[in-house]
Amino acid sequence: MQLTDTKQREYSREEVAKHDNQDSLWVVRGNQVFDLTTFHTDHPGGSEILMQFGGQDITEVLRDSDVHAHSIEAYRVLKDFYIGEIVASDRRPLSKPVDGKDEMDCIEDVDFLDIHKPLMAQMWWSSFSKDVYIREVHRPRHLPRPAVFFANPFLEKFTRTPWWVIPIYWTPIMLGLLYLGSEYERAQVMAIGFVFGLISWTLMEYSIHRFVFHYDENIPEGTIYQCAHFLLHGVHHFLPMDSMRLVMPPALSTFLALHILAILSCVLSMGMLHAVCAGLIVGYVLYDECHYWLHHGTSQNLYLNQLKTYHLRHHYKDFKAGFGITSDFWDKVFGTQFASPEY
């Protein structure tokens, strides 16, 4: 696929090789040059992996399953960072994969949302079929900054939630529930209810993600339903590394929490109700913070890295499996693990 740009330039491989650090990170793929300076910190596999190949030709690295065989969606993201071509005297024949088709030629050019313009206006005035919408919203794009939802700055503020807002908002509520509950039940009973709520959250986390956030193909035809889906979870798959859309806005989580509270109040006594809800809140806060880390964190811990790989596979390879966030336990129970163990 010949990428073109009005500002296209040509570079020698020697010149590209100088851009091998976090302040200027370039790579070559075939005879095309890409500037990944603003992307390496958001790379699903971690910044350190990209840093190993700064200034180098990554054509075969992208295909190497020992490093990590990349999907077509990875090439779609890479395409956005194209800056030019290798000079004619430095060009090399492009090796083809086993099937003989260049990966860049497999990328479909589809008229969907422009990530550089306010998204909600585009969604509201769109006329995508449900099939096109579901397919395209689950094809990840990347921006080096938070996307813009609304042109109006006041409305835009309500669409962005930093990760640290979640514990600040929910911790006082959780402590208040424990205090009020202690007026009805002994500490031992409260502790049991709290642990039950904490453990129950793992199933609730899985269920909400699978049956609510990924209602997907079951949504009715129509723009208004697509807008609702986009706001609820679609945008997170469309822009998975957007740091301001990784945790649930308190307004939405409070709305869901009130419905859960209403249901639990029908079956639990006072005191136990407070304890279970407090446990659910702690589980939710841990989940949301863990979710943010899975997209932007780094660690030497093997389990955490496996969890990160597992979740990012849900985003970059198969959104119809791998619904567990803090654990794959319920995926194993309900048979929604990925078809093959490799990422």
Residue 311 in marked binding region: yes
Q: Is the pLDDT of residue 7 over 60?
A: no
What's the helix, strand, coil split of the chain in %, to 5?
50, 5, 40
User: What average pLDDT score do residues 174-202 get?
Assistant: 96
pTM for this structure? 0.85
* Best CA proximity match to 251, nearest among 145, 308, 169, 143: 169
Q: Is the pLDDT of residue 343 over 50?
A: no
- The CATH number of domain 9-106, selected from 3.10.120.10, 3.30.530.20, 3.40.1110.10, 3.40.50.300: 3.10.120.10
Residue 138 in marked binding region: no
User: What average pLDDT score do residues 27-42 get?
Assistant: 89
Q: Is the pLDDT of residue 75 over 90?
A: no
Q: Is the pLDDT of residue 267 over 90?
A: yes
User: What average pLDDT score do residues 280-299 get?
Assistant: 93
Residue 229 in marked binding region: no
The residue whose two tokens read 């199933």 is: 203
229 exposed, middle or buried (CB, 10 Å; 0-12, 13-18, 19+)? buried
> Mind listing the pLDDT tens digit for each residue in 41-70?
778 777 788 889 999 999 888 887 665 667
Residue 291 in marked binding region: yes
Residues forming CATH 3.10.120.10 domain(s) in the chain: 9-106
d(CA 341, CA 343): 7
Give the pLDDT of residue 268. Answer: 95
- Tell me the pLDDT band of 130, cut-offs 50, 70 and 90: very high
Residue 314 in marked binding region: yes
Q: What is the overall mean pLDDT for the chain? A: 90
Q: Is the pLDDT of residue 226 over 80?
A: yes
* Best CA proximity match to 56, nearest among 27, 97, 91, 77: 27
- The residue ranking higher by pLDDT, 187 or 71, is 187
Beta strands at 9-11 and 82-86: parallel, antiparallel or unpaired: parallel
Residue 43 in marked binding region: yes
d(CA 123, CA 227): 6
Q: Beta partners for 82?
A: 34
User: What average pLDDT score do residues 276-294 get?
Assistant: 97
To the nearest whole percent, how much of the chain has pLDDT over 90? 70
DSSP string, 28-82: EETTEEEE-TTTGGG-TT-HHHHHTTTTSB-TTGGG-TTT-PPPHHHHHHHHTTE
Give the pLDDT of residue 209. Answer: 97
Residue 274 in marked binding region: no
Give the pLDDT of residue 301. Answer: 87
Q: Is the pLDDT of residue 341 over 80?
A: no
Q: What is the CA radius of gyration of the chain?
A: 23
Out of 5-9, 252-256, 301-305, pick the least confident. Answer: 5-9
User: What average pLDDT score do residues 289-312 get?
Assistant: 89
Residue 142 in marked binding region: no
- The residue ranking higher by pLDDT, 3 or 282, is 282
> Mind listing the pLDDT tens digit for each residue in 229-239?
999 999 999 99
Q: CA neighbours within 13 Å on the CB side: how many for 254?
A: 7
User: What average pLDDT score do residues 232-253 get?
Assistant: 93
Give the pLDDT of residue 46. Answer: 73
User: What average pLDDT score do residues 174-189 get?
Assistant: 96
Residue 70 in marked binding region: yes
Residue 296 in marked binding region: no
Residue 209 in marked binding region: yes
Q: Is the pLDDT of residue 1 over 50?
A: no
Q: Is the pLDDT of residue 94 over 60?
A: yes
Give the pLDDT of residue 6. Answer: 43
